Amino acid sequence: MAISGLSQVLPTTKHLSGTVMYQWQGCWYPSDHLKAAMDVSKHFMAHPDNTLLASASKTGTTCLSVLFSITSRGLISKEEAQKLILSTHPHKLIPHLAIEYKKAIKLPLSRLFSTHIPYSTLPDPLKDSCSQIIYISRNPRYTFVPLWEFAQQMQRGNSEPLTFEDAFEQFCEGNTNCGPFLEHVLEYYKASQERPQNILFLTYEEMKADTKGGVKRMAQFLGRSIEREEEGEETVEMCSFERVSNLDVNRSKEKSPWGSLPYNSFFRKGVVGDWVNHFTPAMTERLDRITQEKNHGPDYNLDSNRIEANVSRNGLVRVAGR
């Protein structure tokens, strides 16, 4: 069935931007991502040296630069890699599978790409191959606020972005891009436990607390261990959120070639704990309750307070009491 016909029979709901999303294989997609996700699922042919950075929306943009820096070692000079990182938007360094599918499949065999597609929807050849997947997760509280703010810039046609309260309701119900969010996280976590040699599971908060340690874990996982201490420090400095987000290319209001959004819309504050400035006590309680219910699944604790306490001990954020 053609996409136009299929979209007529799929369940629909509102994207946080006010546009329509379609549910396919238990996951929600905006109309422009739906066909790409179907094409990827049906036609993508994996290679052992594929590397995929997977994440839910608004959780892992900065890691794109880190991943490019690590994987480019030995392929191009350090100077060339640095020049590209400092002059190129992270999403242009690593193409997005559901947005730039045709470009991604034409890359050389040493292919590097990113995706928001859930693990259950990834093509079987990719899951069954020796391809390496790095997944970056983020606390649900921290994820929602940048997700909503990003959606405010995505207005199309006569669509009206959802209010903060209505968007929060959608998030809690699991109705977000490539969501439900918690299922997205837990699917990749479970897969990382079953296939640790192929899937590395990281969290944004832990990367923020110990960036150099996170970079080393990524490099070791990819078989590109950082032997000199200076190398790790150089990568952290070059790819830090503060540096990357303030580059001219990433502060530009010029429209990006994907989604017609300005380049500067992909970066926010990068601050752990900023949710306290937006959530009401009732919102916090509700999202925590939903999160705790999901913790009855695989042995991965998504508890927001636990994550905040761990990060707070590293002196990165002072957590407000509930």
- The enclosing domain of 33 has a CATH number of 3.40.50.300
pLDDT of residue 318: 27
Least confident interval from 147-156, 158-167, 188-197, 256-265: 256-265
The answer to whether 15 is a known catalytic residue is no
Q: Is the pLDDT of residue 269 over 60?
A: no
Q: Is the pLDDT of residue 256 over 70?
A: no
pLDDT of residue 173: 95
Residue 39 vs residue 102, higher pLDDT: 39
**Mean pLDDT of the 254-268 span:** 61
Beta bridge partners of 255: 262
Residues 208, 272: contact at Cβ < 8 Å? Answer: yes
Range of the domain at 74: 3-268
* Mean model confidence pLDDT for the chain: 77
Does 148 fall in a domain? yes
Does 293 fall in a domain? no
d(CA 141, CA 50): 32
Backbone φ, ψ for residue 229 (5° rounding):
-60, -35
Please state whether the predicted TM-score (pTM) of the whole model is above 0.85.
no
Does 288 fall in a domain? no
Q: Which of 75-79, 117-121, 302-306 reaches the highest mean pLDDT?
A: 117-121
Residue 131 vs residue 69, higher pLDDT: 131
d(CA 272, CA 283): 18
Does 213 fall in a domain? yes
- Return the sign of the alpha-carbon dihedral for residues 217, 230, 238, 47: negative
Does 318 fall in a domain? no
pLDDT of residue 208: 81
Does 287 fall in a domain? no
Tokens representing 107 are 């890359």
Residue 14 vs residue 224, higher pLDDT: 14
Does 294 fall in a domain? no
Q: Is the pLDDT of residue 311 over 70?
A: no
Residue of 116, 184, 278, 296 with catalytic role: 116
Number of structural domains (the chain) is 1
